[in-house]
Amino acid sequence: MQLYNKLSAKERAVLIDESGEDRITVSFYQYAHIANPSLFRDHLFVQWDALEILGRTYIAKEGINAQISVPAPNFEQFREELYQISFLDGVRLNVAVEQDNKSFLKLKIKVRSKIVADGLNDDTFDVTDKGIHLNAREFNELIEDENTILVDMRNHYESEIGHFKGAITPDVDTFRDSLDKIEEDLKDYKKEKNLVMYCTGGIRCEKASAYYKHKGFEKVYQLNGGIIEYARQINEQGLENKFIGKNFVFDHRRAEAISDDVIAHCHQCGEPADTHVNCANEACHLLFIQCSSCQERMKTCCSDECREIYELPFEEQKELRRGKQESNKIFKKGRSEKLKFKK
């Protein structure tokens, strides 16, 4: 029984090109009580590998969080098989606004302690006791209410390139940081204000809504399906779009345009820009915003130092990295002091 990838990302990319088939990028999540996440993981891998599904999925005792790419001809079979799983029957599938056949190049299904890293050691709140879900029309109406506080539950690098008009956008690096900060900032409004939250696809808001209800907030709402589903509904129903800029996504595309507005700036020259890149120096890999001019001039590097390393022969670059333990914790996603115009 195959429970791992046999092909590299490069080999998979070639097969995708040769197949001539379109792929559908889709995401979904569900909070549930999964008794044996490892067994469920193996079941999904066998099922999805047979359908040539690629992507990143996390499974924990608290549920499942999936961002995947499905061959278009296999999509209906995928949905049918997914809905045969009792706690996923009818789960909402968020189809990407902008499609890219190479949004994912490997199938990774991992067992985690939680499907959303929250850093909480508080097991006294029920994650399934969530706030009230709002569709796009209801959301547009409620955020116009003067008694409403609208909060972006994403991190600073996500909201920097796009957010809803009038939203509070916490300057945080992690979801865990935002939970405490928002509670402290809004502690005087737990009973009187509508707390309306949104995120990319809804999963962070769902946990946050349960957490804030547990903390005493009485009027808790969330945008159902997040920005992804909101974009679909406003396009289908001809509703006013209250989101400005791009929606950051966690695949090779990095973002989907929800409006034509460019609200961010190049972190190197300060000109209007909203394209995230990773520093081409693999020892750095910093995520930051770079305009096309700086990308050409700096060869997609975040600094002259990184560019000098990147221009070295590949074997020399490997030697410089040898023995060094890199971690996402050092990347800081746009926080580097090397960037003159960072947020």
- Active site members: 199
The residue behind tokens 């989101």 is 243
Give every CB contact of residue 261 below 8 A, 6+ residues apart in sequence: 162, 244, 245
**Residue at 133: amino acid letter:** H
For residues 45 and 118, what is the distance between their CA atoms, to the nearest angstrom? 26
Residues with Cβ within 8 Å of residue 43, at least 6 apart in sequence: none
What is the Rg, in whole angstroms, of the alpha carbon atoms belonging to the chain? 21
The CA distance from 6 to 261, in Å, is 42
Quote the CA–CA distance of 269 and 277 in Å, as a whole number.
15
54 token code pair: 């690629």
Q: Return d(Cα 343, Cα 332) in angstroms, integer.
A: 12
Supply the DSSP symbol for 135: -
- Residue 188's contacts (CB-CB under 8 Å, 6 or more residues apart) are none
Question: What is the torsional sign of CA 228, 229, 233, 239?
Answer: negative
Question: Which is it for strands 243-248 and 94-95: parallel, antiparallel or unpaired?
Answer: unpaired
Measured CA to CA in angstroms, residue 87 lies from 4, 64, 84 at distances of 25, 10, 9
